[in-house]
């Protein structure tokens, strides 16, 4: 696996790790390799049936929240999040709405 890819994912995990550990989530690498789009790595923070799944290629890619079987992409979450939870996130991309 490309060293830059693994270092990129590791840097992101380090940012989240102490917060996620305080909520009893544990990080585990889940995938790494080379696909049609290049080198990739992925991992997840897990607590019981809850997972925060992260994928990294040349930057952070897919982010998916899991509770049991249901899953929600980060993109869908941000579109649905009330303004009181994510006001800056909603306003930052308001010009992109159709």
Q: Mind listing the pLDDT tens digit for each residue in 46-58? A: 999 999 999 988 8
Res 97: pLDDT:
47
Max CA distance (Å), the chain: 41
pLDDT of 98 higher than 50:
no
pTM of the model as a whole: 0.75
Q: Which residues constitute the domain of residue 81? A: 3-96
Q: How many domains does the chain have?
A: 1
User: How confident is the model over 67-89, as pLDDT tens digits?
Assistant: 999 999 988 887 776 666 655 55
Residues contacting 5, CB < 8 A, separation 6+: 32, 39, 40, 41, 56, 57, 58
Span 59-66, mean pLDDT?
A: 90
Q: Is the pLDDT of residue 14 over 80?
A: yes
């Amino acid at each position: 696996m490309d060293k830059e890819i693994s270092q990129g994912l590791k840097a992101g995990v380090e940012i989240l790790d102490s917060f996620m550990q305080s909520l009893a989530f544990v990080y585990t690498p889940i995938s790494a390799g080379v696909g049609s789009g290049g080198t990739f790595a992925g991992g997840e923070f897990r607590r019981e049936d809850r997972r925060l799944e992260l994928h990294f290629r040349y930057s952070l890619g897919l982010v998916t929240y899991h509770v049991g079987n249901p899953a929600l992409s980060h993109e869908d979450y941000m579109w649905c999040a009330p303004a009181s939870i994510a006001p800056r996130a909603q306003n930052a991309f308001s010009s992109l709405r159709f």
